Amino acid sequence: MMHDNKRRREAAEARMLATMSAEDERVSARMKAIRVRNCSTPRDDHLKAHIAAMKRSLVTGEKKRKILFVTGESNSGKSRLVENILAADPAFLSYEDDEGRAKPLLKDDAASPCTQRNFAVRFMKRLGVPVRDNLAKTVAWPQMVSSICAHRVMFLVIDEAQRTMKINDEQELQEFSDNLITLVDNADWPIRVILIGVDPLDKLRKRDTQMLNRSKRMKLRRISAAKASRVVTWLNEIILDHAEFTMAGLKLDDLSLRLIHSCIGNAGSIIELIRDAIEVALWDNRTEVCPLDFAQAYYNRTECLPHDNVFVEEAWEALPSGLARLESGEENETSAGATKAKALKPGERPR
C-alpha cells in the first residue's frame, strides 16, 4: 500500500507540475536542488558519536546508550540532522539475505493521536506489513515487535515524538514508556531507539527512572552571536557551493549577525532564510545574491514594516528579533511557495 501511494503521488504531482509556467518550473526545480543539499555543522560529528556508541551498546549492553533523545526548538534542524547522518551510514541500508529483504532502519513520525495501538499500526505499515487499523493495543504492539524481528530492524527512529506527551492517561503513558524500554531490552532482538522532538519530549525521559537510566540526550541549542562564524560558513556553502551563485557585495560578518538576530539563533530558520534570498535572486534572473535579497526574503516571510526590517535598518539590534523564525512544520525543508519578489532598483528598499 505504501508503494502504491507513492506511485499515485508521483503521478498526481507530475500532472500538477505540467500546469506550471516555465518560470515557476525553473525556479522550483533550482530551489529543490539547493534545498536537498546538506549544510555542515559541528552537530554532525556529535550525533555520529552518539550513534556509534549506540551501535557498540548492542554488543556491550551499555544501558545509557540504548535510547537517544534529540530535542530542540521547532525548525532547529533536528530531523534533517538525523536523516542526513543515518542516510550516509552504510549500516542502515536495506539488504537482501536468505530470509528476504532486511530493513535495519525503521523511521516514521509518531502517530497522532499517539496511542500504543496507533503507534504500532503506523510503524507496521511503514514496514509494509498488512495490518488492520482496529487492532487492540494488546495485539498491535506484540505484532509490531514480531515485525521488527522479522525485518531485522536494528534502529527505530521516532520523529515528532513530543506527541507521546499528549497521552492524557497516566497509566497509558507509563505503558508506552515501558514498551519502549522493552524494545531496547528485548533479550531475543534488542534494538536502539532515537526520539526526535520539541519540548515537552524531554519530560518523557525524566519522568521515569528506567527511561532516564537507558538514555542520553542531544539538545540542539540556538546559535549565539559568538558563533557567527558558523553562519558565515553556511553563507559560503549555500550561496557559492550549493547554488553556485556569487555574493561579492555581501558583508558576511555583519550579515551573519543580522541573520542570527532575525531568527533568534534558530539554525534551521537561518539556513532557510539564506535559501530564500537565493530564491529572490532567481526570480530576478540574477546569479549574484545582493544585500537587498535578504531584506526582500525577510519581508516575504514576515511582511514586516520597512522600519522593522533587520536587513535594512542601521540600528537593527534594537529591532524585534525572531520574526523570521519558522514556527510550523518540523524540518521539512521543501519550499512552500515564496512570494515572487518585485524587481528592485539599485538602492531601492523592499516592500
Residues 340, 271, single domain; the answer is yes
Higher pLDDT, 286 or 336: 286
Higher pLDDT, 335 or 42: 42
Residue 218: what are its φ and ψ, rounded to 5°?
A: -120, 110
Residue 141 lies in a domain: yes
Q: What is the pLDDT of residue 350?
A: 61
Residues 62, 118, single domain; the answer is yes
Residue 82 lies in a domain: yes
Q: What is the pLDDT of residue 75?
A: 84
Confidence of residue 322 (pLDDT cuts 50, 70, 90): confident
Residues 233, 251, single domain; the answer is yes
- Domain closes at, from 199, 220, 241: 220
Q: Which pTM value belongs to this model?
A: 0.85
Domain that holds residue 196: 42-220
Q: What is the pLDDT of residue 118?
A: 92
Residues 155, 199, single domain; the answer is yes
For residue 319, give the C-alpha cell.
529591532
Confidence of residue 312 (pLDDT cuts 50, 70, 90): very high
**175-187: string of b/e by CB count within 10 Å (b at 16+)?**
bbbebbbebbeee
Residues 170, 155, single domain; the answer is yes
Using CA atoms, how far residue 263 sits from 181, 187, 199, 224, 292, in Å, is 37, 46, 19, 11, 17
Residues 228, 179, single domain; the answer is no
Region 185-208: mean pLDDT is 93
What is the count of structural domains for the chain?
A: 2
Residues 102, 144, single domain; the answer is yes
pLDDT at 67 over 70: yes
Residues 254, 202, single domain; the answer is no
Residues 89, 228, single domain; the answer is no
- Domain closes at, from 220, 253, 274: 220
Residues 215, 238, single domain; the answer is no
Residues 6+ apart with CB under 8 A from 77: 41, 43, 220, 267, 268, 271, 331
Residues 162, 253, single domain; the answer is no
- Domain closes at, from 183, 204, 220: 220
pLDDT in tens, 33-49: 999 999 988 899 999 99
Residues 196, 65, single domain; the answer is yes
Residue 16 lies in a domain: no
Region 325-338: mean pLDDT is 42
pLDDT at 68 over 90: yes
